């Protein structure tokens, strides 16, 4: 192809792919298979790489992020970003309706829309191209988050049809429930605090500095308001319908209403139906439709007189607080949990609610035996929001927060400025010890897959394993016949270790003695030393003794080791108990020296820039590790979770449905082991 033909091909590919993205993300109706989509995308990536001068601003390849922004630029809104007056009562809506009738003499109609619960955004388009995305800020000026917003697939980078030369469209960036749950699961997995609700998650995502990260968050954007001098119609509803033609995601859930009774009907219908929506709404927005009437009605100091938000009351019930229990997490953090008399709330039976921390308990002054109000708002876990004092018994007693750990009795600590109490007894507190053991045996660490959470618990409860080094003292006699009683509501079952289980466990432990130094370093659980840092340390220091003797200054000079990590390493290796464990592990025969022969020689660069997830069953764990290793040896990066950045999935048998669903969503090709081997052999 000559240059001109190449340009035409690139243009055609961009248009075609954008059209498919629109069908998938905006209309929810994909027209081609993922495979075909990927083929086109691959071709575009290749052509763009070879002809960067033809890369278009609206190319789908520009959705994956790239820019890292230290602080967001402040931008003044061309039109102030006002909020709406709101009410929780239908009487006040009647007053709103009466006010409007008084101020305008002609006929009018309302447009009812859902009030999406997310983060407000203003998008500017010039000549059909997205030029700027700004948050509300203080209403006068907000943050320029354009780089992050470009990664949201349902926001068009370039418009179709007959759009005005310059205009702004406003809407709400939201995180649908499915994406929210997945994001939180991933956060919990890596030890990050989960977000309290989808709104916080959306807002946190939008403010991230690295747009690559934002590209992985399954954000969506629903639009509800147009501003500009040359809009096609003189009414709100008709302009929104037109904007839909230009490629925007304008939800179908809007309705024109002639009377306030019709408005009530819409409200009452959605007050119930909202439970089935895939995202959160917190009310209904009612707007007069005609722009000419907007002018007649004008504004108050804060908001337009032609619109109002009716907010749903969060669903709330009254029930008895039976007791409060305190849970200890793997990091030692204490969470108070309210045990409630079971009660029906927003479609589910609620038995427990979070009480968060001691400040909240104190503020609410909740007491065992109280009748408490439980609410389910945007949060997934219900919360107690108040007490019906009139029903309090005079025998009730103030709730005392625990001073000692409910698991190990250690005196709890609380750091300045932190809300939670912690159990400091890292090495003597059962949930914390079990957490460490579970990490040690996990797949990326020692990969002892014949042990799991349940078996670890059994070994610990039977006093066989107190720390990771004890695993290497287990033998046939200590394990055979070990019993566990499983009690569920109906029956009591006894499980006991049979010969096969015991042999598997011992084999797994034995096999782990050949696990490489860098993974042992990751497995021993030094805070902040993850897989990558462990690798860096192993390569740099070559053996545990060198690392053990490294000073703080030396450590921070190692690539990717900052002060926080260095401090944690020093702390770990100056604790006698840890040194003793290392000694015992050395005696057991674990690898504490880097095996230079094991450092694989790079085979090719053919997978450079590709993030590859290996998932499912490949016969043996070793085979799966071999594939992962091949990914790295050919210059690729292996990932554990499927995200928007994943380029490819190599799937064995029984790949998890979660991963499959994500692959579908992000249109990631899934290939077999054979395909993969063939791919790298070229």
Which residues are identified as catalytic? Answer: 115
Q: Determine, following the binding rule CB under 6 A, whether residue 379 of this chain makes contact with ligand IVH.
A: no
Strand order from edge to edge, sheet including 220-227: 129-135, 119-126, 166-174, 220-227
In the shown chain, the binding pattern of residues 308 to 347 toward ligand IVH, with x for contact by CB under 6 A and - for none, equals -x--------------------------------------
| Smallest gap from residue 118 Cβ to ligand IVH (A) | 7
Residues between 157 and 176 with contacts to ligand IVH, criterion CB under 6 A: 172
Instruction: Tell me whether residue 288 or residue 361 sits nearer to ligand IVH (CB atom).
Output: 288
Return left, alpha or beta for 539; rule: phi > 0 is left, psi -120 to 50 is alpha, else beta: alpha
Point out which span in 77-85, 125-133, 154-162, 314-322 binds ligand IVH (CB under 6 A): 77-85
Site for ligand IVH in 390-449 (CB under 6 A): none
Q: How far is CA 512 from CA 91, 438, 508, 533, 545, in A?
A: 70, 14, 6, 20, 21
Closest to ligand IVH by CB, 116 or 125: 116
CB of 112 to ligand IVH, least distance (A): 9
Report yes or no: 268 and 257 within 8 Å, Cβ to Cβ.
no
* Token reading at 526: 């030094």
DSSP string, 624-640: HHHHHHHHHHTT-EEES
The residue (of 81 and 547) whose beta carbon lies closer to ligand IVH is 81
Q: What secondary structure letter does DSSP report for 61?
A: G
Give the HSE-up count for residue 184: Cα atoms under 13 Å, Cβ half-sphere: 19
Find the length of the chain: 682
Nearer to ligand IVH, 80 or 342 (CB): 80
Output the 3-class SS for 449-492: CCCCHHHHHHHHHCCCCCCHHHHHHCCHHHHCCCEEEEECCCCE
State in angstroms the smallest separation of the CB of 223 from ligand IVH: 9
Q: Which is nearer to ligand IVH, 304 or 329 (CB)?
A: 304
Dihedral sign of CA atoms 205, 209, 213, 215 in order: positive
Minimum separation from the CB atom of position 222 to ligand IVH (A)? 7
**Looking at beta carbons only, is 284 or 585 nearer to ligand IVH?**
284
Shortest Å distance, C-beta 63 to ligand IVH: 24
* 307 belongs to the binding site for ligand IVH (CB under 6 A): yes
468 makes contact with ligand IVH (CB under 6 A)? no
Contact string (CB under 6 A) for ligand IVH, positions 101-120, x = contact: ------------x-xx---x
Tell me how far apart the terminal alpha carbons of the chain are, to the nearest angstrom. 25
Determine which residue in the list 37, 96, 195, 225 makes contact with ligand IVH, applying CB under 6 A.
225
**What number of chain residues touch ligand IVH (CB under 6 A)?**
14
What is the SS3 string spanning 285-330? Answer: EEEECEHHHHHHHCECCCCECCEEEEECCCEEEEEEEEEEEEEECC
Distance CA 513, CA 497 (A): 23
Adjacency order of strands within the sheet including 670-671: 637-639, 611-615, 648-651, 670-671
User: Where would I find the H helices in 171-285?
Assistant: 177-189, 198-206, 211-215, 236-246, 260-273
Q: Characterize 334-358 residue by residue with b for buried, 16 or more Cβ atoms within 10 angstroms of its Cβ, and e for exposed.
A: bebbbebeeeebeeeebeebbbbbb
Mask for 186-215, x = binds ligand IVH (CB under 6 A): ------------------------------
Kindly state the smallest distance separating residue 159's Cβ from ligand IVH, in Å.
Answer: 21
* Sign of torsion over alpha carbons 250, 253, 255, 259: negative
Assess 285 for contact with ligand IVH (CB under 6 A): yes
Q: Does 451 bind ligand IVH (CB under 6 A)?
A: no
Measured from the CB atom, the residue of 292 and 532 that comes closer to ligand IVH is 292
- Among residues 223 and 582, whose Cβ is nearest to ligand IVH? 223
The CB-of-284 to ligand IVH minimum distance in angstroms stands at: 8
Closest CB 311 distance from ligand IVH, rounded Å? 9
Least distance to ligand IVH, CB of residue 87, Å:
12
Which residue number, 118 or 525, has a Cβ lying nearer to ligand IVH?
118
Q: Please, what's the b/e burial string for 40-77 (b: 16 or more CB within 10 A of its CB; e: otherwise)?
A: bbeebbebbeeeeebebebbbbbbebeeebeebeebeb
Residues that bind ligand IVH (CB under 6 A): 82-84, 113, 115-116, 120, 172, 224-225, 285, 304, 307, 309
């Amino acid at each position: 192809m000559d240059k001109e033909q190449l340009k035409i091909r690139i243009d055609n590919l961009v248009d075609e792919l954008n059209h498919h993205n629109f069908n998938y993300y905006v209309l929810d109706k994909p027209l081609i298979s993922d495979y075909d989509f990927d083929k086109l995308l691959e071709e575009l990536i290749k052509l763009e790489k070879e002809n960067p001068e033809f890369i278009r601003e609206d190319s789908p390849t520009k959705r994956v992020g790239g820019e890292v922004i230290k602080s967001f630029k402040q931008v003044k809104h061309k039109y102030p970003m006002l909020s709406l007056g709101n009410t929780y009562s239908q009487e006040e809506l009647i007053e709103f309706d009466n006010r409007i009738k008084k101020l305008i003499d002609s006929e009018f109609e309302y447009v009812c829309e859902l009030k999406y619960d997310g983060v407000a955004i203003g998008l500017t388009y010039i000549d059909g191209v997205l030029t700027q995305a700004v948050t509300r800020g203080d209403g006068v000026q907000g943050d320029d988050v354009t780089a992050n917003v470009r990664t949201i697939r349902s926001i068009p980078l370039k418009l179709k049809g007959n759009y005005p030369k310059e205009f702004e469209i406003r809407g709400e960036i939201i995180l649908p429930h499915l994406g929210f749950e997945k994001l939180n699961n991933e956060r919990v997995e890596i030890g990050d605090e989960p977000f309290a609700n989808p709104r916080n998650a959306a807002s946190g995502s939008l403010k991230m500095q690295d747009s690559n990260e934002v590209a992985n968050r399954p954000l969506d954007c629903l639009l509800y308001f147009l501003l500009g001098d040359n809009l096609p119609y003189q009414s709100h509803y008709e302009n929104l319908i037109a904007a839909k033609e230009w490629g925007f995601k304008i939800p179908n859930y809007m309705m024109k209403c002639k009377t306030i009774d019709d408005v009530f009907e819409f409200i009452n219908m959605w007050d119930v139906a909202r439970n089935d929506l895939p995202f959160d709404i917190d009310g209904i927005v009612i707007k007069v439709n005609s722009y000419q009437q907007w002018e007649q009605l004008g504004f108050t100091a804060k908001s337009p007189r032609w619109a109002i938000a009716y907010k749903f009351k969060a669903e709330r019930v009254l029930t008895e607080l039976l007791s409060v229990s305190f849970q200890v997490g793997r990091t030692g953090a204490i969470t108070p949990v309210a045990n409630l008399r079971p009660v029906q709330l927003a479609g589910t039976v609620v038995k427990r609610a979070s009480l968060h921390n001691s400040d909240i308990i104190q503020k609410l002054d909740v007491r065992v035996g109280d009748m408490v109000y439980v609410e389910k708002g945007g949060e997934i876990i219900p919360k107690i929001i108040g007490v019906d004092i009139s029903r309090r018994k005079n025998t009730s007693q103030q709730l005392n927060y625990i001073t000692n750990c409910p698991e190990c009795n250690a005196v709890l600590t609380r750091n300045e400025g932190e809300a939670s109490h912690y159990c400091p007894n890292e090495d003597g507190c059962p949930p914390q010890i079990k957490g460490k053991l579970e990490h040690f045996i996990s797949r990326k660490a020692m990969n002892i897959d014949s042990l799991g959470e349940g078996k670890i618990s059994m070994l610990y409860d039977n006093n066989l394993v107190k720390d990771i080094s004890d695993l290497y003292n287990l033998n046939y006699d200590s394990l055979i016949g070990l019993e566990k009683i499983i009690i569920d509501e109906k029956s009591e079952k006894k499980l006991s270790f049979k010969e096969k289980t015991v042999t598997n466990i011992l084999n797994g432990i034995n096999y782990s003695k050949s696990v490489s130094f860098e993974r042992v370093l990751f497995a021993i659980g030094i805070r902040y030393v993850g897989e990558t840092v462990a690798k860096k340390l192993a390569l740099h220091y070559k053996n545990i003794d060198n690392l053990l003797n490294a000073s703080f200054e030396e450590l921070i000079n190692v690539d990717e080791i900052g002060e926080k990590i260095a401090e944690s390493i020093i702390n770990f290796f100056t604790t006698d108990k840890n040194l003793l464990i290392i000694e015992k592990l050395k005696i057991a025969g674990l690898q504490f020296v880097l095996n230079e022969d094991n450092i694989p020689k790079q085979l090719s660069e053919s997978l450079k820039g590709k993030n590859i997830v290996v998932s499912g069953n490949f016969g043996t764990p070793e085979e799966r590790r071999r594939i992962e290793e091949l990914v790295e040896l050919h210059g690729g990066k292996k990932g554990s979770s499927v995200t928007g950045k994943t380029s490819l999935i190599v799937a064995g048998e029984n790949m998890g449905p979660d991963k499959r669903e994500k692959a579908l969503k992000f249109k990631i090709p899934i290939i077999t082991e054979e395909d993969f081997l063939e791919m790298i052999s070229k």
